[in-house]
Amino acid sequence: MEYQMRDDSLCHEGLKFEEIQERFGEEFFNICFDENERVLRAVGGTLQDFFNGFDALLEHIRTSFGKQATLESPSFLCKELPEGTLMLHYFHPHHVVGFAMLGMIKAAGKKIYRLDVEVEQVANEKLCSDGSNPGNCSCLTFLIKECENTNTTKNLPQGTSQVPADLRISINTFCRAFPFHLMFEPSMSVLQLGEGLRKQLRWDTHKVLKFEDCFEIVSPKINATFERVLLRLSTPFVIRTKPEASGTENKDKVSGHGYEIGEGN
């Protein structure tokens, strides 16, 4: 696919290589944005959510073309550092997209979230040790910092409640509406299962059930920890029951049942 550059060509005399790289990324994103504005605006509510939700968009595109994700498929992970800076990891980068990332990040912040951000590409530091680097792959890492002169009002998350009476629907109605729902706490102990999942598991209600005892995450390719799940709230999850947990005697023939868990489940 070929794209024609706009009137403000990247090849102005006197531009440094970094400036050309940034301008190319901005131009690349602007073309994508013009063709897919509604889709890109729906990926995430914040810049961090945008990149953490990008894997779901890539998966949808792959599925549309009859392809499946592999260990070498591009993937994104965006984490917030204590000082408020975002750290974006781009795994298995495509050479063109990797080259354009600096400008694309700035353009995404400005076009979608009205944010002026400073972006710096940094060296990777032992990403594999905490399981954040799938398949020990190559990775590009960027630090994203909001400029001080950005005049925007951040949408702060509303306070959460642990009181069942605060639910807009009753617990019984919720369970009937979502028979395959799954709730777990930070330790990954299962708190509640929908009736559909409960029928697939041999679960003693008087015993504490751990997520890893009964389920495995098929996609995205992450470790089953609470922190990893929180980083992917905008990504649909596909989980599979383990044969030994579902009461299947012939483990060689049955690999378990797969379920797709969307955002908020």
Count the domains in the chain. Answer: 2
Task: Compute how many other C-beta atoms are within 10 angstroms of the C-beta atom of residue 206.
Answer: 5
pLDDT at 214 (0 to 100): 87
Give the single-character DSSP code of 189. Answer: B
* Same domain membership, residue 185 and residue 71: no
pLDDT at 84 (0 to 100): 87
Q: Is residue 234 part of a domain?
A: yes
pLDDT at 206 (0 to 100): 72
pLDDT at 6 (0 to 100): 45
Q: Is residue 181 part of a domain?
A: yes
Please give the chain's pLDDT, 265 residues, in tens.
Answer: 444 444 444 445 567 888 888 999 999 999 999 998 998 998 888 999 899 888 878 777 777 777 766 667 788 889 999 888 999 999 888 888 889 999 999 999 999 999 999 999 998 654 443 445 444 558 999 999 998 765 544 444 455 666 777 778 888 888 889 999 999 999 999 988 888 888 888 766 677 888 998 899 887 778 889 988 887 776 778 888 887 666 554 443 333 455 555 544 4
Distance CA 218, CA 233 (A): 16
Classify residue 236 as exposed, middle or buried by CB count within 10 Å of its CB (0-12, 13-18, 19+).
middle
Q: Is residue 257 part of a domain?
A: no
pLDDT at 2 (0 to 100): 44
Cβ 11 vs Cβ 3: under 8 Å = no
Q: Which two tokens stand for residue 77?
A: 């992970």
pLDDT at 118 (0 to 100): 94
* Same domain membership, residue 104 and residue 217: no
* Same domain membership, residue 32 and residue 125: yes
Output the domain CATH number for residue 56. Answer: 3.90.1520.10
Alpha helices in the chain, H assignment, sequence order: 17-35, 37-41, 47-52, 54-64, 95-113, 171-177, 195-198, 211-214, 226-230, 243-246
Distance CA 255, CA 265 (A): 23
Q: Is residue 265 part of a domain?
A: no
Residue 227 structural domain:
170-241
Q: Is residue 158 part of a domain?
A: no
Q: Which two tokens stand for residue 45?
A: 């509510």
Q: Is residue 47 part of a domain?
A: yes
pLDDT at 110 (0 to 100): 94
